[in-house]
Amino acid sequence: MKIALALSLALNVFILGAAAGAWIWRLAPMPAQPADQGLASAAQAMAPDQRQAFRQALAKARSDAQPDSQAARDARDKLARLLKEADLDRDAIDATLETTRAADIRVRARVEAAVMDFAEGLDSQSRALLIDGLSSRGQILPHSAKK
């Protein structure tokens, strides 16, 4: 009986501790969410309509690049299968890596072209905001481009 009482007491203390911890965790202030690190956040300082147009241009470019994105994913899957084989076929691995790189480059080229097409339609002040956004993240432009 004493063992059962001790186990019951230990279980109750554990449950009370968990409940108190959950209550304290719920009351604790949540840290600020980090800013979006995606390419779309490069337009954060721009006017809302321009920001929306930029996001739409990126979404269209990514949608247009979907076949290349899928090709890159498929090549990575193939690479994983090749690497699991008992005897590695280096020629097949190298060819698969080349396929992956080529598809990734085509995706990047579409996205970069969409950014440049969007920038082409901006006035100089809005373009400067876009340059700041792109260079602050080191995406497409180097960090030093803000100077």
For residue 37, pLDDT over 90 is answered with no
pLDDT for 73: 95
* Average pLDDT over all residues of the chain: 88
Is 80 exceeded by the pLDDT of residue 31? no
Estimate to the nearest angstrom the gap between the alpha carbon of 26 and the chain centroid: 28
**pLDDT at position 69, please?**
94
Query: In this predicted structure, what is the pLDDT of residue 32?
Result: 53
In whole angstroms, what is the distance from residue 1 CA to residue 69 CA?
A: 66
Compute the distance between CA of residue 135 and CA of residue 51 in angstroms, rounded to an integer: 16
Task: List, for residues 55-75, the tens digit of each pLDDT value.
Answer: 999 999 999 999 999 999 999
Q: Is the pLDDT of residue 122 over 80?
A: yes
- Residue 25 has a pLDDT of 78
Instruction: Give the global pTM.
Output: 0.67
